[in-house]
Amino acid sequence: MTATYAADLYSTDAILDPHPHYEKLRRLGPVVWLDRHKCFALPRYPECKATLRDDEQFLSREGVSLNTLSNKLSHGTTLASDGDEHADRRKLVAHRLLPRALRAIGDTVEEQANAVVEEAVRRRDVDGVELASALPLAIVPDLVGWPRDQREHLIEWGGATFDILGPLNWQAVKAMPRALQMLRFARRVVRQRNVLPGSIVDELLTAADAGVLDHSACPAFDDRLHRPVAGHHHQRDLECAVPAGHAPRTVAPAQGRPGSDSGRGQRDRPL
């Protein structure tokens, strides 16, 4: 019989101190029914990894969120795709993210990293979140192609994007206007072609204009514009749910997964 867990993992208290919940979930077993959210959780890494790699039974195309509205909004994105469609979309950008491709910006990354460390040493007292976000905000938007004069809402939109992937609680409702604002902005950037020259999105749009890629695929790049730097501190840890009624591929162990938060091998999220 599947174990049941009654606590609300998306409550403010759970968000501020989630690790006791993760520990309890792992002790309950490899699959736990979250009664409050009407979904299953896979709190242990081996079972989660096996599920994520089984894209014939555990699908993303109907959405990976815990609420219907967000799932509808995600239709047509790379995130909500499976099989060959998902693989083909990943291939469009994968070559730009390989180690040999990233070596070209190695000096820039090192320079920015040194600047971040030197500033932290100079100030002595630093905010950990500010320190952790400095390098991604300095490097990733340029790599993706985000316009340099339109980045003031980047962190805000990223947080909202993750907030609306949970249950449709007050947190998600409050985040919805910001998420829609981000979506409209991303589509406008794609339509106006005002991304940075030579960036990932610029390459994709150029391919579409040249007929190499169908223009109908371009809306699917919207999630590329914001997700690489959208790292909400609690939502990353809460991506452990399989909604009842269908089986999305976006599940993750409640804690202790090795590696970084990006890439299918570590975070196992369909990017």
Q: What is the CA radius of gyration of the chain?
A: 19
DSSP bridge pairs for 5 = 34
The pLDDT of 125-151, averaged and rounded, is: 85
Can you tell me the distance from the alpha carbon of 35 to that of 17, in angstroms, rounded to the nearest whole number? 20
Question: CB atoms < 10 A from the CB of 14, how many?
Answer: 18
DSSP state of 103: G
Q: Is the pLDDT of residue 254 over 80?
A: no
pLDDT in tens, 22-81: 999 999 999 999 999 999 999 999 999 999 889 889 988 888 899 998 898 888 788 888
Q: Could you say which of 3.40.50.620, 1.10.1740.10, 3.40.1210.10, 1.10.630.10 is the CATH number of the domain covering 66-236?
A: 1.10.630.10
At which residue do the structure tokens 């269908």 appear? 246
- Dump the DSSP string for 177-242: HHHHHHHHHHHHHHHHT-SPTTSHHHHHHHHHHTTSS-GGGGGGGHHHHHGGG---TTTTTT--EE
Query: Would the pLDDT of 226 be above 70?
Result: no
**234 band by pLDDT with thresholds 50, 70 and 90:** very low
> Nearest Cα to 23, choosing from 266, 267, 254?
254
**Is 5 a residue whose pLDDT tops 60?**
yes
Mean pLDDT of 102-110: 86
- Across 202-218, average pLDDT: 79
The mean-pLDDT minimum among 149-158, 163-172, 212-221, 237-246 falls in 237-246
**Strongest mean pLDDT among 73-82, 87-96, 173-182:** 173-182
Percent of the chain with pLDDT over 90: 25
Taken in order 99, 103, 107, 109, the sign of the CA dihedral is: negative
Q: Which pLDDT band holds residue 218 (cuts at 50, 70, 90)?
A: low
